[in-house]
């Protein structure tokens, strides 16, 4: 039993305690005076109060996107009624599933201007990246053992490159400028007769920067080097054409375009033919490049998501651009010392990576509990090291730790943008007022000129 006694007189105290202590398993808490359990200071200027209204607003579209209801409608029959294995060639159940898979293959191919035969289905962009980088490198290894990529690629590309370095391959990691974009001259100079592959992502998942993919493709074609791009963050958001851009391999993810998780695709050019060494052994499905039973419901969902994205791309882009501009206008109108990371022009508007100077990103994330956000730095993980992407573009460590990524999408509303902007402004102001550094800046002190002594 747990009993709390408060606001009692001294004469009553002894009598009451003697009586209740005769019972077993009693915990007594006595609070003197008029003090309450949750005592609140009169001045709650710096207190953090959360309004428990329901689930947080979703502002993390670069991590994943919600399933479009129209995609779910397309998937449901293949989750229930049409459950055949698409590789079963002897009965109707298999034929139905195979027809659905081939239709989805056409939908994916049409979105990027490819031939359906050039699309193979995978479990997602991570697997597609692994097949592309490791597969091409290993197949052409006897003659070519050099790969070129950038310092701001997705972790699965960088880790694949490091694995290849362990196998004796040479990898060149191209730096990027302060705007996050690579130097095309440096790329061209990095290519050698031994280079088999260049891998550069289309839109960066952290800062939203768009690389000059068409120009990179032209350089690779001229030098007779295969060009792979991770287009997980770009597909369905910006126009892509594998032929016009001279792309030889392209990684695609389902859950980044309002499709289901666990499904992706890889475009592999047939003419001129790109050869890859499979990283998975099995029954030889998907032209022998990705063995394993193709999950029909997920593939159907990916196809439907691609078809919707192609049809509504212009509308979606205009809507996200409008939301993005409104959000930035609100932030900039009330806050100073806010830096947008990445190029201001060559970037996808739905990915806003902002650094709020003199505010710790982790503190701001905790304050914005009613908005689902991601931090640009690694303070959401066990490591307190700032993001390698922000380090690559030359962001100061203190700014890298103060960055937050706001991800806007198809289903984000104007009211949600207004609410998030107002909450962000409120908590940045609150946290800055608690910071002695901010106080010094307000007084005109240049923080970078201070020589801090260690005690």
Give 3-state DSSP helix, strand, coil % of the chain, rounded to 5. Answer: 40, 15, 45
Tokens of 200: 């550069």
Residue whose pair of structure tokens reads 């107002």 in the numeric block = 422
d(CA 51, CA 301): 36
Chain centroid, CA 251 distance in Å: 15
DSSP letter at 172 equals E
Tokens of 364: 């701001």
Give yes or no: 306 in active site.
Answer: no
Cis preceding-peptide flag for 356 (omega within 30 of 0): no
DSSP letter at 222 equals H
Task: Using DSSP bridges, classify how beta strands 195-199 and 226-230 pair: parallel, antiparallel or unpaired.
Answer: parallel
CA dihedral 376, 379, 381, 387 (to 10 degrees): 40
d(CA 123, CA 254): 9
Of 250, 231, 236, 254, give the one whose Cα is nearest residue 301.
254
* Strand, coil or helix: 159: helix
d(CA 156, CA 171): 15
The strands making up 170-174's β-sheet, listed across from edge to edge, are 119-122, 264-268, 249-253, 226-230, 195-199, 146-150, 170-174
Q: Which of 161, 220, 351, 379 is catalytic?
A: 379
Which residues does the annotation mark as catalytic? Answer: 379
């Amino acid at each position: 039993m747990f009993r709390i006694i408060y606001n009692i007189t001294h004469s009553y105290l002894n009598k009451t305690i003697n009586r209740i202590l005769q019972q077993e398993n009693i915990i007594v808490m006595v609070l003197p005076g008029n003090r309450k359990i949750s005592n609140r200071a009169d001045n709650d200027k710096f207190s953090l109060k959360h309004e428990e209204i329901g689930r947080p607003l979703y502002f993390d579209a670069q991590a994943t996107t919600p399933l479009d209801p129209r995609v779910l409608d397309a998937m449901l029959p293949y989750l229930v009624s049409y459950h055949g294995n698409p590789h079963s060639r002897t009965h109707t159940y298999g034929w139905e599933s195979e027809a659905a898979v081939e239709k989805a293959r056409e939908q994916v191919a049409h979105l990027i201007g490819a031939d359906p035969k050039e699309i193979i289905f995978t479990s997602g962009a991570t697997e597609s990246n692994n097949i592309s980088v490791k597969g091409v490198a290993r197949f052409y290894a006897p003659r070519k053992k050099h790969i070129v990529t950038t310092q701001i690629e997705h972790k699965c590309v960088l880790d694949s490159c490091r694995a290849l370095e362990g196998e004796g391959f040479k990898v060149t990691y191209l730096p990027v400028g302060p705007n996050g974009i690579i130097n095309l001259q440096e790329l061209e100079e990095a290519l050698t007769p031994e280079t088999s592959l260049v891998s550069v992502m289309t839109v960066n998942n952290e800062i939203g920067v768009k690389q000059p993919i068409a120009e990179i493709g032209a350089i690779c074609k001229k030098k007779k080097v295969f060009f792979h791009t991770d287009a997980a963050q770009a597909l369905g958001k910006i126009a892509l054409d594998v032929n016009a851009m001279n792309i030889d391999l392209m990684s695609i993810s389902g859950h980044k375009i309002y499709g289901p998780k666990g499904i992706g695709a890889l475009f592999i050019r047939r003419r001129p033919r790109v050869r890859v060494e499979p990283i998975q052994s099995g029954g030889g499905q998907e032209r022998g490049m990705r063995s394993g039973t193709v999950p029909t419901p997920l593939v159907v969902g990916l196809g439907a998501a691609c078809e919707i994205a192609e049809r509504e791309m212009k509308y979606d882009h205009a809507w996200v651009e409008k939301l993005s501009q409104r959000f930035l206008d609100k932030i900039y109108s009330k806050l100073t010392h806010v830096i947008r990371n990445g190029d201001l022009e060559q970037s996808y508007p739905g990915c806003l990576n902002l650094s709020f100077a003199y505010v710790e990103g982790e503190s701001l994330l905790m304050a914005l509990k009613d908005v689902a956000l991601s931090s640009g730095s690694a303070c959401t993980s066990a490591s307190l090291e700032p993001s390698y992407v922000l380090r690559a573009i030359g962001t100061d460590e203190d700014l890298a730790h103060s960055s937050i990524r706001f991800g806007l999408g198809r289903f984000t509303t104007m009211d949600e943008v207004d609410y998030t902007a107002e909450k962000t402004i409120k908590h940045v102001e609150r946290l800055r007022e608690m910071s002695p550094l901010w106080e010094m800046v307000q007084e005109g002190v240049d923080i970078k000129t201070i020589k801090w002594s260690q005690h």
